[in-house]
């Protein structure tokens, strides 16, 4: 759609919202409204990354950068698909939380700044099949170096500084793919998969904290602090 509620059009933080019926999607029965509120952006982005043109397969390896909403959902989707997950963060506490969600290998990129070398070691020099890239210029080179021949780097965020990328790395059949969220059809497919896999894999959004509507300011300050793991939610009265 040309106009996206909560994107190009403001108005999500409201008690009542008027929108076209095409903008509404049913969510899995086992989720609360607060949990479902985390799906349209973070979960869908992770889903489209891993189930895009070349979907993830069992036995593959996924590298997730950071422990924000998209990366946290990517951990769960990757594990449900039978993949191995390598998670990175600057916080050991957040890495412990990632491990509880299923991450197989943990890298603190503050204590291990050359984390691409650690990824190479963990994969026997082969590299990973999928990279959830949220850093941008500051991490792109390391992400490409961490990627296996024929692998994919899914660029869904730019939170770090500028950095150079030698095009020669891409000659090794590595794909850098940029996108924003995903279409309704993928959202519905994701919800069906989440509902179907809940018994076997227990896929549920990782919510750091829920704030009441009149504490929205506190919610944004908590988000700005960067101390959260997963999503911060504001409950509508």
Q: Which helix (H) or strand (E) holds 199?
A: helix 184-201
Q: Which of 20-24, 73-77, 221-225 shows the lowest mean pLDDT across its residues?
A: 20-24
Within-domain flag for 10: no
Distances (CA, A) of 145 to 120, 140, 158: 9, 9, 18
Within-domain flag for 2: no
Rounded to whole angstroms, the Cα distance separating 112 from 127 reads: 17
Same domain flag for 108 and 214 = no
Same domain flag for 67 and 128 = yes
Q: What is the pLDDT of residues 111-170, one digit of tens each?
A: 999 999 999 999 999 999 999 998 777 788 899 999 999 999 999 866 555 555 555 556
Asked if residues 105 and 75 have their Cβ atoms less than 8 Å apart, the reply is no
- Strands 105-108 and 128-133 come out as unpaired
Within-domain flag for 222: yes
Same domain flag for 153 and 201 = no
Range of the domain at 148: 46-178
Same domain flag for 36 and 72 = no
Same domain flag for 73 and 125 = yes
Rounded to whole angstroms, the Cα distance separating 158 from 194 reads: 27
From the list 229, 226, 177, 210, the residue with the least C-alpha distance to 70 is 229
**CATH code: domain of residue 111:** 3.40.50.720
């Amino acid at each position: 759609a040309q106009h996206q509620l909560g994107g190009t059009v403001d108005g999500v933080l409201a008690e009542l919202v008027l929108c076209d019926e095409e903008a509404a999607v049913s969510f899995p029965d086992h989720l609360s409204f607060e949990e479902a509120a985390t799906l349209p952006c973070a979960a869908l982005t992770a889903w489209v990354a891993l189930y895009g043109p070349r979907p993830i397969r069992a036995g593959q390896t996924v590298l997730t950068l950071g422990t924000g909403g998209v990366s946290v959902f990517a951990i769960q989707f990757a594990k449900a698909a039978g993949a191995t997950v390598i998670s990175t963060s600057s916080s050991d506490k957040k890495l412990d939380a990632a491990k509880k969600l299923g991450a197989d290998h943990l890298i603190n990129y503050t204590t291990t700044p050359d984390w691409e070398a650690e990824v190479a070691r963990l994969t026997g020099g082969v590299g990973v099949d999928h990279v959830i890239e949220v850093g941008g210029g500051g991490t792109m080179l390391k992400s490409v170096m961490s990627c296996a021949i024929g692998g994919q780097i899914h660029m869904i965020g730019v939170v770090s500084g500028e950095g150079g990328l030698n095009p020669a790395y891409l000659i090794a059949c590595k794909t850098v793919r940029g996108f924003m969220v995903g279409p309704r059809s993928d959202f519905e497919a994701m919800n069906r998969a989440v509902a179907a896999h809940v018994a076997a894999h227990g896929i549920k959004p990782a919510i750091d904290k829920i704030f009441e509507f009149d504490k929205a300011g506190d919610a944004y300050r908590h988000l700005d602090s960067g101390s959260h793991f997963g999503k911060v939610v504001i409950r509508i009265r």
